Amino acid sequence: MKLEDKEFIQTWERLQSAGEMAKETKVSVRWVMARRRLIERRYNIKLEPKNKKGNYYSSGGAYPSKLDLGIRNGTVLVFSDAHFWPGIRTTAFRGLLWAIKELNPVAVINNGDAFDGASISRHPRIMWQHVPTVIDELKACQSALSEIESIVKENCKLIWALGNHDARFESRLANGAPEYERVKGFRLTDHFIHWQPAWSVWLNDNVVVKHRFKGGIHATHNNTLWSGKTIVTGHLHSLKVTPFSDYGGTRFGVDTGTLADPEGPQFRDYTEENPLNWRSGFAVLTLVDGKLLWPELVHRFADDVIEFRGKLINV
């Protein structure tokens, strides 16, 4: 059953479910999701889904705590801690754009802290430090994420696993101006309508992506030990893979590093020019018949150069 854009929008607003819409129009769920994303981009609108309890994810509702993607086959790219800053386009970010074009992922997951929130931090100003305004940071995030949106295939899912820096945007408003709750624009996701938010993203029953869990230098080991799952986190900027094997087999703790430059202005003052056990890059996850292959990392090798699968690639 073919639907014009207007008919599609009207049908979605009535059903608000890809499964129900696919059943009524006799097409696949995948087709519905791809068409939905195309229409959202074309008209700059958000076609809201409903959750299992029948409540709608809107600018005034709570973020879903968990998204189940049910991926059995395909490549998923996971980046985190981009801390997008006005005027800066890092090597790792350009590497991510290269990987999207090269690997054709079924999902791209922004694993938290794309927004830094430097001017609304709970931490005091460091001497006479100058940081971007909230609107300048929002524009930097929108510019970078729009580049990703412009090159992914129509059926590629765009997910934002929220981080502690991202939360600064709404926490400052919720605590300082609670009367404005539910006003459009006061939620971070109001400004990024193509990215579906959640606190955790489950690729399938065995692989979970979220911004943070355990802390410290042994976080990747402790994450997979205590979760009992392969768990992919950011937050610590370390970019590494830690395998863990027991009677149940092998699972992984993955840290997705930082898409930012560890020596960038976002970090320069509060790290006080100390040596940092941080690395710039992102993770590539490949699933075959529901099983995760050994996680791969893309690492910034030098300015304008990334390393991946034993090769140096100019970006």
Per-residue pLDDT of 250-291, as tens digits, reads 999 999 999 999 999 998 888 888 999 999 999 999 999 999
Residue percentage of the chain with pLDDT more than 70: 95
The pLDDT of residue 125 is 81
What is this structure's pTM? 0.81
Beta strands 296-302 and 281-288, pairing class:
antiparallel
pLDDT in tens, 164-203: 999 899 888 888 888 888 888 999 989 998 999 999 999 9
Judge contact between 238 and 254, C-beta under 8 A.
no
- The stretch 294-309 carries a mean pLDDT of 98
Say yes or no to pLDDT of 292 above 60. Answer: yes
In whole angstroms, give the CA distance from residue 99 to residue 229.
Answer: 26
Judge contact between 201 and 210, C-beta under 8 A.
yes
Residue 113, C-beta contacts closer than 8 angstroms, at least 6 positions apart = 80, 81, 82, 83, 163, 164, 165, 166, 211, 234, 235
Say yes or no to pLDDT of 9 above 80. Answer: yes
The pLDDT of residue 58 is 42
- The stretch 148-168 carries a mean pLDDT of 93
pLDDT in tens, 76-119: 999 999 999 999 999 999 999 999 999 999 999 999 999 988 88
* Helix (H) or strand (E) segment spanning residue 241: strand 240-246
In whole angstroms, give the CA distance from residue 244 to residue 73.
Answer: 23
